[in-house]
Amino acid sequence: MRITAPHILHVAQPVEGGVARVVTDLVAAQLATGLRVTVACPEGGALADALRALGCTVIRWDATRSPGPRLPREMWQLSRLVRKVRPDLVHAHSAKAGLAARLAVHGRLPTVFQPHAWSFEAADGLVARLALGWERFGVRWTARVVCVSEAERRTGERRGITAAWRVVPNGVDTGRFRPEGDGARSGDAPLVVCVGRLCRQKGQDVLLAAWPEVVRRVPGARLVLVGDGPDAERLRRGAPASVEFAGAAADAAPWYRAADVVVLPSRWEGMALAPLEAMACARPVVVTEVDGARESLPPGHAPSCLVPPEDPAALARALTALLRDEPLRAALGVRGRAHVLVAHDLRHVTDAVTDLYRELLGGTAAPVVGPYEGRKCITT
Protein backbone atom coordinates (compact mmCIF):
# COMPACT_ATOMS: atom_id res chain seq x y z
CA MET A 1 0.00 0.00 0.00
CA ARG A 2 1.40 3.42 -0.98
CA ILE A 3 1.76 5.93 1.86
CA THR A 4 0.85 9.50 0.99
CA ALA A 5 2.80 12.27 2.66
CA PRO A 6 0.89 15.24 4.11
CA HIS A 7 0.41 18.26 1.89
CA ILE A 8 1.44 21.56 3.52
CA LEU A 9 0.39 24.95 2.18
CA HIS A 10 2.59 27.84 3.32
CA VAL A 11 1.10 31.32 2.89
CA ALA A 12 3.70 34.08 3.00
CA GLN A 13 3.75 37.86 2.83
CA PRO A 14 6.30 39.55 2.92
CA VAL A 15 8.48 37.97 0.24
CA GLU A 16 11.86 39.35 1.21
CA GLY A 17 14.05 39.73 4.27
CA GLY A 18 14.00 37.44 7.28
CA VAL A 19 10.52 36.00 6.75
CA ALA A 20 11.40 34.94 3.21
CA ARG A 21 14.59 33.25 4.43
CA VAL A 22 12.73 31.40 7.17
CA VAL A 23 10.10 30.15 4.72
CA THR A 24 12.72 29.13 2.14
CA ASP A 25 14.79 27.21 4.68
CA LEU A 26 11.72 25.52 6.13
CA VAL A 27 10.38 24.49 2.73
CA ALA A 28 13.77 23.12 1.65
CA ALA A 29 13.95 20.92 4.74
CA GLN A 30 10.35 19.74 4.38
CA LEU A 31 10.80 18.82 0.73
CA ALA A 32 13.93 16.86 1.70
CA THR A 33 11.92 14.82 4.21
CA GLY A 34 9.29 13.91 1.61
CA LEU A 35 6.47 16.27 2.57
CA ARG A 36 4.39 17.70 -0.25
CA VAL A 37 4.71 21.46 -0.10
CA THR A 38 3.01 24.32 -1.91
CA VAL A 39 3.59 28.00 -1.22
CA ALA A 40 1.15 30.82 -1.93
CA CYS A 41 2.91 34.18 -2.10
CA PRO A 42 3.13 37.32 -4.24
CA GLU A 43 5.52 37.46 -7.16
CA GLY A 44 8.50 39.76 -6.87
CA GLY A 45 11.01 39.86 -4.08
CA ALA A 46 13.30 36.91 -3.47
CA LEU A 47 10.90 34.28 -2.18
CA ALA A 48 9.14 32.88 -5.27
CA ASP A 49 12.35 32.45 -7.29
CA ALA A 50 14.17 30.82 -4.37
CA LEU A 51 11.33 28.36 -3.85
CA ARG A 52 11.08 27.43 -7.52
CA ALA A 53 14.83 26.75 -7.53
CA LEU A 54 14.14 24.15 -4.82
CA GLY A 55 11.51 22.47 -6.99
CA CYS A 56 8.66 23.73 -4.83
CA THR A 57 5.24 24.46 -6.31
CA VAL A 58 4.57 28.20 -6.02
CA ILE A 59 1.12 29.70 -6.61
CA ARG A 60 0.77 33.41 -7.14
CA TRP A 61 -1.20 35.19 -4.43
CA ASP A 62 -1.63 38.89 -5.13
CA ALA A 63 -1.36 40.42 -1.67
CA THR A 64 0.06 43.71 -0.48
CA ARG A 65 2.32 43.87 2.56
CA SER A 66 -0.18 45.70 4.78
CA PRO A 67 -3.95 45.32 5.31
CA GLY A 68 -6.08 47.69 3.28
CA PRO A 69 -9.09 47.91 0.96
CA ARG A 70 -7.79 45.00 -1.14
CA LEU A 71 -8.04 42.56 1.79
CA PRO A 72 -11.47 41.08 0.85
CA ARG A 73 -10.24 40.27 -2.66
CA GLU A 74 -6.98 38.84 -1.29
CA MET A 75 -8.92 36.65 1.12
CA TRP A 76 -11.30 35.50 -1.65
CA GLN A 77 -8.35 34.63 -3.90
CA LEU A 78 -6.68 32.70 -1.08
CA SER A 79 -9.93 30.79 -0.39
CA ARG A 80 -9.97 29.68 -4.02
CA LEU A 81 -6.31 28.63 -3.80
CA VAL A 82 -6.97 26.54 -0.70
CA ARG A 83 -9.86 24.76 -2.42
CA LYS A 84 -7.67 24.11 -5.46
CA VAL A 85 -4.58 22.93 -3.57
CA ARG A 86 -6.53 20.87 -0.99
CA PRO A 87 -3.78 20.93 1.65
CA ASP A 88 -3.84 18.95 4.88
CA LEU A 89 -2.49 21.90 6.88
CA VAL A 90 -1.98 25.65 6.32
CA HIS A 91 1.02 27.49 7.77
CA ALA A 92 0.70 31.29 7.54
CA HIS A 93 3.74 33.51 7.98
CA SER A 94 3.61 37.08 9.33
CA ALA A 95 0.64 39.32 10.09
CA LYS A 96 -0.85 39.88 6.64
CA ALA A 97 -0.74 36.22 5.61
CA GLY A 98 -2.00 35.24 9.05
CA LEU A 99 -4.97 37.58 8.72
CA ALA A 100 -5.94 36.50 5.20
CA ALA A 101 -5.30 32.79 5.72
CA ARG A 102 -7.31 32.50 8.89
CA LEU A 103 -10.22 34.41 7.38
CA ALA A 104 -10.04 32.22 4.26
CA VAL A 105 -9.70 28.84 6.00
CA HIS A 106 -11.99 29.75 8.90
CA GLY A 107 -10.98 26.73 10.99
CA ARG A 108 -11.83 24.12 8.37
CA LEU A 109 -8.20 22.92 8.29
CA PRO A 110 -5.45 22.88 10.92
CA THR A 111 -3.93 26.36 10.64
CA VAL A 112 -0.56 27.34 12.08
CA PHE A 113 0.18 31.05 12.42
CA GLN A 114 3.73 32.33 12.85
CA PRO A 115 3.80 36.11 13.48
CA HIS A 116 7.58 36.67 13.07
CA ALA A 117 7.13 39.71 15.41
CA TRP A 118 3.74 41.09 16.37
CA SER A 119 2.04 43.48 13.98
CA PHE A 120 0.66 45.66 16.77
CA GLU A 121 4.23 46.53 17.80
CA ALA A 122 4.85 47.94 14.33
CA ALA A 123 1.99 50.45 14.49
CA ASP A 124 0.61 53.24 16.63
CA GLY A 125 -2.80 54.50 17.65
CA LEU A 126 -5.88 53.08 15.97
CA VAL A 127 -3.93 50.80 13.63
CA ALA A 128 -2.16 49.17 16.58
CA ARG A 129 -5.47 48.69 18.43
CA LEU A 130 -7.07 47.12 15.36
CA ALA A 131 -4.10 44.79 14.85
CA LEU A 132 -4.21 43.67 18.46
CA GLY A 133 -7.96 43.18 18.33
CA TRP A 134 -7.61 40.97 15.28
CA GLU A 135 -4.88 38.84 16.89
CA ARG A 136 -7.08 38.28 19.94
CA PHE A 137 -10.00 37.30 17.70
CA GLY A 138 -8.08 35.27 15.13
CA VAL A 139 -6.78 32.65 17.56
CA ARG A 140 -10.19 30.93 17.42
CA TRP A 141 -9.19 29.71 13.93
CA THR A 142 -5.60 28.87 14.87
CA ALA A 143 -4.45 25.39 15.85
CA ARG A 144 -1.08 26.72 17.06
CA VAL A 145 0.64 30.08 17.23
CA VAL A 146 4.35 29.48 16.66
CA CYS A 147 6.58 32.08 18.30
CA VAL A 148 10.30 32.33 17.61
CA SER A 149 11.12 33.29 21.19
CA GLU A 150 9.68 33.03 24.68
CA ALA A 151 9.72 36.81 24.80
CA GLU A 152 7.50 36.99 21.71
CA ARG A 153 5.08 34.54 23.33
CA ARG A 154 5.05 36.53 26.57
CA THR A 155 4.33 39.72 24.64
CA GLY A 156 1.32 38.03 23.07
CA GLU A 157 0.04 36.74 26.39
CA ARG A 158 0.61 40.07 28.10
CA ARG A 159 -1.48 41.78 25.42
CA GLY A 160 -4.40 39.42 25.92
CA ILE A 161 -3.88 36.87 23.14
CA THR A 162 -5.03 33.51 24.49
CA ALA A 163 -3.60 30.91 22.14
CA ALA A 164 -2.27 27.36 21.94
CA TRP A 165 1.40 28.33 21.84
CA ARG A 166 4.51 26.61 20.53
CA VAL A 167 7.93 28.28 20.83
CA VAL A 168 10.42 27.30 18.12
CA PRO A 169 13.50 29.57 18.24
CA ASN A 170 14.86 30.76 14.91
CA GLY A 171 17.81 28.88 13.46
CA VAL A 172 20.41 29.35 10.75
CA ASP A 173 22.38 27.14 8.40
CA THR A 174 25.62 26.74 10.32
CA GLY A 175 27.30 25.22 7.27
CA ARG A 176 26.59 28.27 5.14
CA PHE A 177 27.23 30.75 7.97
CA ARG A 178 30.62 29.80 9.35
CA PRO A 179 33.93 31.55 10.08
CA GLU A 180 35.90 31.58 6.86
CA GLY A 181 37.96 34.36 5.29
CA ASP A 182 37.17 38.07 5.10
CA GLY A 183 36.28 38.52 1.44
CA ALA A 184 34.18 41.67 1.84
CA ARG A 185 36.82 43.68 3.73
CA SER A 186 38.62 46.52 1.99
CA GLY A 187 41.41 48.01 4.10
CA ASP A 188 42.36 47.62 7.75
CA ALA A 189 40.01 50.16 9.32
CA PRO A 190 37.70 48.91 12.11
CA LEU A 191 34.52 47.72 10.43
CA VAL A 192 30.96 47.62 11.81
CA VAL A 193 28.33 45.89 9.68
CA CYS A 194 24.54 46.10 9.95
CA VAL A 195 22.52 43.61 7.87
CA GLY A 196 18.80 44.20 7.54
CA ARG A 197 15.99 45.75 5.56
CA LEU A 198 16.31 49.54 5.58
CA CYS A 199 13.13 50.36 7.47
CA ARG A 200 11.95 51.76 10.77
CA GLN A 201 11.82 48.34 12.45
CA LYS A 202 15.55 47.72 12.03
CA GLY A 203 16.55 51.07 13.52
CA GLN A 204 19.34 52.10 11.14
CA ASP A 205 18.39 55.73 11.81
CA VAL A 206 19.34 55.22 15.46
CA LEU A 207 22.64 53.66 14.38
CA LEU A 208 23.43 56.64 12.13
CA ALA A 209 22.67 58.97 15.03
CA ALA A 210 25.15 57.02 17.18
CA TRP A 211 27.84 56.74 14.52
CA PRO A 212 29.54 60.19 14.81
CA GLU A 213 30.39 59.44 18.45
CA VAL A 214 31.83 56.05 17.47
CA VAL A 215 34.07 57.67 14.84
CA ARG A 216 35.13 60.35 17.30
CA ARG A 217 36.30 57.69 19.77
CA VAL A 218 37.56 55.16 17.21
CA PRO A 219 39.09 57.23 14.39
CA GLY A 220 38.91 55.59 10.98
CA ALA A 221 36.00 53.30 11.86
CA ARG A 222 33.72 52.34 8.95
CA LEU A 223 30.06 51.38 8.94
CA VAL A 224 28.44 49.31 6.20
CA LEU A 225 24.65 49.00 5.90
CA VAL A 226 23.79 45.85 3.96
CA GLY A 227 20.22 45.80 2.69
CA ASP A 228 17.59 47.82 0.88
CA GLY A 229 14.16 49.06 1.77
CA PRO A 230 11.73 51.97 1.97
CA ASP A 231 14.01 54.15 4.11
CA ALA A 232 17.08 53.85 1.87
CA GLU A 233 16.99 57.34 0.38
CA ARG A 234 16.18 59.04 3.67
CA LEU A 235 19.03 57.26 5.44
CA ARG A 236 21.51 58.14 2.70
CA ARG A 237 20.78 61.84 3.01
CA GLY A 238 23.40 63.38 5.27
CA ALA A 239 25.21 60.11 6.02
CA PRO A 240 28.92 60.76 6.59
CA ALA A 241 31.65 59.47 4.27
CA SER A 242 32.53 56.72 6.77
CA VAL A 243 29.16 55.06 6.07
CA GLU A 244 28.72 52.79 3.04
CA PHE A 245 25.36 51.62 1.68
CA ALA A 246 26.10 48.23 0.14
CA GLY A 247 22.56 47.46 -1.02
CA ALA A 248 20.88 44.09 -0.82
CA ALA A 249 23.19 41.08 -0.80
CA ALA A 250 22.22 37.63 -2.03
CA ASP A 251 24.69 36.23 0.50
CA ALA A 252 25.47 38.27 3.61
CA ALA A 253 28.00 35.76 4.98
CA PRO A 254 31.07 37.54 3.48
CA TRP A 255 29.99 40.77 5.15
CA TYR A 256 29.62 39.07 8.53
CA ARG A 257 33.08 37.52 8.19
CA ALA A 258 34.60 40.88 7.24
CA ALA A 259 33.12 42.69 10.25
CA ASP A 260 34.83 43.42 13.53
CA VAL A 261 31.38 43.92 15.06
CA VAL A 262 27.87 43.22 13.72
CA VAL A 263 25.06 45.43 15.01
CA LEU A 264 21.27 45.32 14.74
CA PRO A 265 19.55 48.27 16.51
CA SER A 266 15.96 47.05 16.01
CA ARG A 267 12.90 48.68 17.53
CA TRP A 268 11.02 45.36 17.64
CA GLU A 269 11.61 41.73 16.62
CA GLY A 270 10.46 38.20 17.28
CA MET A 271 13.99 36.85 17.09
CA ALA A 272 16.18 38.46 14.46
CA LEU A 273 18.18 36.25 12.08
CA ALA A 274 21.09 38.62 11.45
CA PRO A 275 22.65 38.30 14.96
CA LEU A 276 22.35 34.49 14.75
CA GLU A 277 24.01 34.48 11.33
CA ALA A 278 26.78 36.76 12.57
CA MET A 279 27.45 34.61 15.63
CA ALA A 280 27.51 31.51 13.43
CA CYS A 281 30.33 33.29 11.56
CA ALA A 282 32.09 33.79 14.94
CA ARG A 283 31.53 37.53 15.01
CA PRO A 284 30.54 39.54 18.12
CA VAL A 285 27.17 41.28 18.00
CA VAL A 286 25.53 44.32 19.55
CA VAL A 287 21.72 44.15 19.64
CA THR A 288 18.88 46.04 21.24
CA GLU A 289 16.84 44.64 24.12
CA VAL A 290 13.75 43.68 22.12
CA ASP A 291 11.85 40.39 21.93
CA GLY A 292 14.17 37.47 21.26
CA ALA A 293 17.42 39.41 21.64
CA ARG A 294 18.45 38.15 25.07
CA GLU A 295 17.43 34.57 24.16
CA SER A 296 19.51 34.68 20.98
CA LEU A 297 22.71 35.48 22.89
CA PRO A 298 24.78 32.89 24.78
CA PRO A 299 24.11 32.64 28.53
CA GLY A 300 26.37 35.04 30.37
CA HIS A 301 27.11 37.05 27.23
CA ALA A 302 28.71 40.46 27.81
CA PRO A 303 25.94 42.75 29.17
CA SER A 304 27.33 45.64 27.12
CA CYS A 305 26.28 43.82 23.93
CA LEU A 306 22.61 44.37 24.80
CA VAL A 307 21.46 48.00 24.72
CA PRO A 308 18.09 49.76 25.02
CA PRO A 309 16.27 50.44 21.74
CA GLU A 310 16.26 54.00 20.41
CA ASP A 311 19.26 55.01 22.55
CA PRO A 312 22.07 56.30 20.29
CA ALA A 313 24.37 57.10 23.23
CA ALA A 314 24.18 53.58 24.67
CA LEU A 315 24.65 52.10 21.20
CA ALA A 316 27.74 54.24 20.60
CA ARG A 317 29.25 53.18 23.93
CA ALA A 318 28.69 49.49 23.21
CA LEU A 319 30.20 49.67 19.71
CA THR A 320 33.16 51.71 20.91
CA ALA A 321 33.93 49.31 23.74
CA LEU A 322 34.01 46.31 21.42
CA LEU A 323 36.00 48.03 18.68
CA ARG A 324 38.66 48.90 21.27
CA ASP A 325 38.90 45.38 22.75
CA GLU A 326 40.13 42.81 20.24
CA PRO A 327 40.56 39.93 22.77
CA LEU A 328 36.95 40.40 23.93
CA ARG A 329 35.72 40.38 20.33
CA ALA A 330 37.56 37.12 19.66
CA ALA A 331 36.21 35.48 22.82
CA LEU A 332 32.65 36.58 22.08
CA GLY A 333 32.94 35.27 18.54
CA VAL A 334 34.01 31.81 19.70
CA ARG A 335 31.31 31.71 22.33
CA GLY A 336 28.65 32.89 19.89
CA ARG A 337 29.51 30.22 17.31
CA ALA A 338 29.34 27.46 19.94
CA HIS A 339 25.98 28.77 21.18
CA VAL A 340 24.40 28.83 17.71
CA LEU A 341 25.60 25.30 16.99
CA VAL A 342 23.82 24.04 20.11
CA ALA A 343 20.72 26.22 20.33
CA HIS A 344 20.00 27.69 16.88
CA ASP A 345 21.00 25.18 14.23
CA LEU A 346 18.47 25.22 11.40
CA ARG A 347 17.97 21.46 11.61
CA HIS A 348 16.52 21.76 15.12
CA VAL A 349 13.99 24.33 13.88
CA THR A 350 12.78 22.35 10.89
CA ASP A 351 12.50 19.16 12.94
CA ALA A 352 10.44 20.95 15.59
CA VAL A 353 8.02 22.44 13.04
CA THR A 354 7.58 19.13 11.22
CA ASP A 355 6.89 17.41 14.55
CA LEU A 356 4.22 20.02 15.23
CA TYR A 357 2.56 19.20 11.90
CA ARG A 358 2.52 15.51 12.78
CA GLU A 359 0.95 16.30 16.13
CA LEU A 360 -1.82 18.37 14.54
CA LEU A 361 -2.47 15.83 11.80
CA GLY A 362 -2.74 12.88 14.16
CA GLY A 363 0.66 11.37 13.39
CA THR A 364 1.67 11.20 17.07
CA ALA A 365 0.02 10.24 20.34
CA ALA A 366 -0.54 13.91 21.12
CA PRO A 367 -4.26 14.76 21.22
CA VAL A 368 -5.75 16.90 18.48
CA VAL A 369 -8.50 19.12 19.84
CA GLY A 370 -11.05 21.55 18.53
CA PRO A 371 -12.38 21.50 14.96
CA TYR A 372 -9.57 19.20 13.82
CA GLU A 373 -10.35 16.34 16.19
CA GLY A 374 -10.62 13.05 14.36
CA ARG A 375 -8.98 14.30 11.16
CA LYS A 376 -6.48 11.71 9.93
CA CYS A 377 -3.47 11.93 7.70
CA ILE A 378 -0.66 9.42 7.22
CA THR A 379 2.71 11.02 7.97
CA THR A 380 6.17 10.11 6.85
CATH number at residue 204: 3.40.50.2000
Percent of the chain at pLDDT exceeding 70: 93
Domain-located, residue 379: no
Same domain, 17 and 163: yes
**Res 333 pLDDT > 80:** yes
Tell me what the mean pLDDT of segment 110-125 comes to: 93
Same domain, 247 and 138: no
What's the pLDDT at 70? 85
Same domain, 246 and 363: no
Domain-located, residue 16: yes
What's the pLDDT at 368? 34
Same domain, 46 and 105: yes
Question: Which of 140-144, 180-184, 363-367 comes out lowest in average pLDDT?
Answer: 363-367
Sheet holding 285-288, edge to edge: 243-247, 222-226, 191-195, 261-264, 285-288, 306-307
Domain-located, residue 212: yes
What's the pLDDT at 363? 64
Calculate the CA dihedral of residues 155, 157, 161, 165 and round it to 10 degrees. Answer: 100
β-strand 111-114 against 89-93: which pairing, if any? parallel
Same domain, 111 and 80: yes
Domain-located, residue 66: yes
Q: pLDDT tens, 24-36?
A: 999 999 999 899 9
Please count the structural domains in the chain.
2
What's the pLDDT at 380? 27
Q: pLDDT tens, 334-378?
A: 999 999 999 999 999 999 999 999 999 986 423 333 333 333 332
What's the pLDDT at 371? 36
Domain-located, residue 177: no
Same domain, 159 and 204: no
Measured in degrees and rounded to the nearest 5, phi and psi for residue 332 equal: -65, -35
Q: Report the DSSP beta bridge partners of residue 194.
A: 225
Same domain, 291 and 226: yes
C-alpha to C-alpha distance for 294 and 306, rounded to whole angstroms: 7
Handedness of CA 150, 371, 375, 138 (dihedral sign): negative
Question: Which residue range is the domain that position 104 belongs to?
Answer: 7-171+345-372
Q: Are 177 and 277 in contact (CB under 8 A)?
A: yes
Q: pLDDT tens, 34-47?
A: 999 999 999 988 89
Tell me what the mean pLDDT of segment 83-106 comes to: 95
Question: Which of 31-45, 228-242, 289-303 comes out lowest in average pLDDT?
Answer: 289-303
Same domain, 138 and 14: yes
* DSSP code of residue 172: B
Same domain, 88 and 196: no
Domain-located, residue 155: yes
C-alpha to C-alpha distance for 146 and 148, rounded to whole angstroms: 7
